[in-house]
Structure 1
């Protein structure tokens, strides 16, 4: 891995994002941005060596349907998001990322076919993507160019892209929705849900507690909403895509049926509440 020192490179304890070897920031720019926060006790740092020491942290796995697994680190590291392993006919994709990459996780992923690509929804979930990429053969890490300023370790395997959609493998397409971050992206997986289609949305489209709707925000912890124009843009971007299921950032954040109409309804509801208007796209 370029630069070396990955085990000791600083990781922000609040968001879990890793900085490049040799960097020594006073605070994490991602967490001092208005979409995130620093706790009252201030900035704290860790590293991979500490996370892997003594076996205190481990990645817990769950299978959702044929070809789709998720895992998250317990106890929670950073924001506590889960990542997904998607097995496609053309290779496996890691969707989103977690900070901890331990030997058990490497063994599981290799047993399931390794990785062909990594794609990450937005900066809060960049985690230790440089280490993940290097470990699995320097696979590309797809990040939208609009979020380039938030990449804290700009390694050679990051592949920035432009526009509104990018097919990274046959049947797997990134769709830029923006919103939470300018380059916020979701992943459409054609083979999912027995061919009816799946979207993996992180919190670009946040699956809410009913498990039947989604919502959108600029900042979830600081309760900063998005505008109706953002919601309309998202609705337009989603309209061409068929999907049955929606998988979000955290355990059980899933819409298991009628996903497209539930997303349409959710965005319509959001627009009505912020503008008293109906969705018209």
Structure 2
């Protein structure tokens, strides 16, 4: 029995005796099946290959990024946030080895894992079991869990305080249960949002964007982005970290609002004429 990992999205399945025919995540319109065909690996195969390692960097006091090198799957970055006697892993990556475990334990371990949306579920149960952590997923995305576990807590409503200083906000958009993490003490007490790609920092780091599907270029409707902007405006933050190690360093709350307006104006045909 193996727990297979999709090579395209990096999400792990529950134990199976044979290779699955399709990836439940990739066959949905927000993701894609590799043009070369569906392929799978396992965490054991990844470790044995000696191909991968995880780069763990200190981003600011209390925050470390974790990224697999070379890139695997979607290539997202996870973040370990250290609070007062409580550490939370924001989003997850597929690769986990002894070196990563040792470094994370040196940083205080993991008490909880919180996920922005299904594309980053990866090997979340492996991480949770390794560090004796619980997993927080919004109940609206329950159907996308490909490896069930008693460690998963399906939360409901619009906000959840996971621990002092850490609040999850369901803002939807990319997925119905799409969430972001508010870290109140981040950026020297001015507040940080960790957004996955629910709010994605673009090439010009003073702007962000919002999408239903990034690889397939499907935009979100204007009313959805307007609603998201209202919710985001109610949160105090000065900095944003997205899933691909892009950061709006300062005045991020204003940047998000400006970006939402620009996005809506573009969809409504008032931003430009071409």
Contact 1:244 1:257 in 2 (8 A): yes
* 2:99 is the counterpart of 1:99: no
Aligned counterpart, 2:34: 39
1:166 paired with 2:160, answer: yes
Q: Distance in 2 between matches of 1:133 and 1:66?
A: 24
* Residue of structure 2 in register with 1:272 after alignment: 265
Q: Which residue of 2 aligns with 1:81?
A: 76
Report the Cα distance in structure 2 between the residues aligned to 1:258 and 1:246, rounded to whole angstroms. Answer: 9
Equivalent residue number for residue 243 of structure 2: 249
Q: Deviation at 1:276?
A: 4.7
What's the CA shift for 1:71?
A: 1.2
Spell out, residue by residue over 1:65-94, the C-alpha distance to the aligned partner (whole angstroms, 9 max, x if none). 000000111111100001000001141000
Aligned pairs for 1:105-254 (under 5 A) are 105-137=100-132, 139-251=133-245, 253-254=246-247
Q: CA deviation at 1:240?
A: 1.5
Whole-angstrom CA distance in 2 between matches of 1:76 and 1:21? 25
Using the alignment, how far apart are the partners of 2:173 and 2:42 within structure 1? 30
Q: What are the equivalent positions in structure 2 for 1:254-265 lying under 5 Å apart?
A: 254-265=247-258
Give the whole-Å Cα distance in 1 for the aligned partners of 2:254 and 2:214. Answer: 24
Kindly indicate whether residue 64 of structure 2 is the aligned counterpart of residue 62 of structure 1. Answer: no
What do you get for the CA RMSD once the two structures are aligned? Answer: 1.3
Name the CA distance, whole Å, in 2 between partners of 1:229 and 1:166.
24
- 1:27 is paired with a residue whose SS is coil
- TM-score under structure 2 length normalisation: 0.96
Question: In 2, distance between residues paired with 1:260 and 1:142?
Answer: 25
In 2, distance between residues paired with 1:90 and 1:267?
36
Q: 1:99 to 1:144 in 2, by over 3 A?
A: same
Distance apart, 1:186 and its partner CA = 0.4
Q: State the 1:25 CA deviation.
A: 2.4
User: Gaps spanning 5+ residues in structure 1: where?
Assistant: none
- How far off its partner does 1:34 sit? 0.5
Aligned-residue offset at 1:14? 0.3
Which stretch has the larger CA shift, 91-100 or 20-29? 20-29
CA–CA separation in structure 1 for the residues paired with 2:34 and 2:51: 23
1:277 Cα deviation after fit: 7.0
Go from structure 1 to structure 2 and tell me whether the alpha carbon gap of 1:206 and 1:117 turns closer, same or farther (over 3 Å shift): same
3-state secondary structure, aligned to 1:108: helix
